[in-house]
Amino acid sequence: MSSNDLLLNKTPEQQGWVKWYVLCMLSIESCLQTAVWAMWGPIAQSAKAVYEWEDSTVNLMVNLGNIGTMLFVIPCAYVLDVKGLRISMLGGCFLQAVGNGFRIITTMPAPATWLIGAGQLLNGIGGTVSFVAPTRLSATWFARDHRATSTSVSILFASIGAAMAFVLGPALVTQPPSNFSMAAVPNFTDLGVIRSQIMRLNYLYFGLTTVLFLVVVVYFPDKPHQPPSITAGLKRYEFKEGFFKLIRHKWFWYIAFTFAIPAGVYGSWMSVLDVNLNPLGIRQTEAGWFGFYGSLGGAIAGMIIGSPISTEPSVEAKRRPNSTGPSVESKPGLNWTFSRILTPSLIQLDIQYYPNPSPIATEPSAESGP
């Protein structure tokens, strides 16, 4: 008998800490995935100097994460239904660790650009777990009165990851002078310092994602020994049947787009906030604090709103269905995917090909540091 079986072969009271451990691991995975995805936006000016990028390249790096998730969110939902939480979590954490490993191979602009792009893509594919798994985890591990809270915690940890990226990046990476241009690269002596700072940030994210993967390998149970509620143990539709029932449900699309459009526009704007504000003379450190407060405020408000929902009467209390679809828990996750992935991708493409406004004339500053 494995250690996972020994730990799970207990009464619900004895294994109560396990569900919070599982929730914590998924929340950390969501936090790190978003932090890695949003890393380049807050340090856009520094990355442009080190890797010889344009604004469109920074937008593309952010968008590659979205593209990876868009392409693999349905296969990930299938793996989650067929193989369970543990296999899905292992795969997601492994892809994130490998993707971050690509970013520490070299700092030479041409190969580094390709490797970073591949890493962003892998991070996006691995991040599908944090989009589709939260509601499945809540339904598998938590009783009805805790499900909304646990779901909101794991999903909103993505906002905490974005807040971390907005503060950590500008704090560790120096911004080049405002009058810096690519023609000045050979004579810019501080470029090596900025390059080292970016690499240290890459090493940090690689270390965190690798440690998370190893922890999940050691212990991350798939489901509790005893279902926490009646609905958690019900027989479910096959994936294909449940998927086609879902996409034919008009209210699903109505709710998805109602949520996706405003949240997607906001998310896409925030992910490249420094690129958007730099023409106005706002430095990446200041833009980072703007993004931090916005992301943290959204996370706190979401958790506050999510807790009272747990106390509302549920369908389970009113009627007992004989079966539920395999992706009933995945419906909110798919809605979240639309808001975080589809709409931001479209907006990023618009940002990439829309001409930048002319910078506002400002008085020259003697300050050349951050």
The tens digit of pLDDT for each residue in 298-335 reads 777 766 765 555 555 544 444 444 444 444 444 444 44
41: phi then psi, degrees, rounded to nearest 5: -60, -50
Query: What pLDDT is attached to residue 326?
Result: 42
Segments in 173-283 forming alpha helices (H): 191-218, 239-247, 250-271, 273-277
Does residue 363 lie in a domain region?
Answer: no
Q: Is 324 helix (H, G, I), strand (E, B) or coil?
A: strand
Higher pLDDT, 205 or 272: 205
Locate all alpha helices (DSSP H) within the chain, ordered by sequence: 3-8, 16-37, 44-51, 55-83, 85-102, 109-126, 128-141, 144-172, 191-218, 239-247, 250-271, 273-277, 284-309, 315-318, 331-337, 343-353
Helix (H, G, I), strand (E, B) or coil at 55: helix
Per-residue pLDDT of 57-84, as tens digits, reads 988 898 898 898 889 988 888 888 888 8
pLDDT of residue 336: 46
Q: Which domain holds residue 304?
A: 3-179+189-314+323-353
* Within a domain: 250: yes
Query: What are the two backbone dihedrals, phi and then psi, of residue 324, each rounded to the nearest 5 degrees?
Result: -135, 160
Give the domain CATH number at 124.
1.20.1250.20
Tokens 């995917």 correspond to 337
Residue 164 in this model has a pLDDT that exceeds 90: no
| 212 assigned to some structural domain | yes
Domain-embedded: residue 282: yes
- Answer yes or no: is 364 within a domain: no
pLDDT (mean) for 114-142: 90
Q: Is residue 358 in some structural domain?
A: no
The pTM of the full predicted model, rounded to 2 decimals, is 0.73
Q: How many domains does the chain have?
A: 1
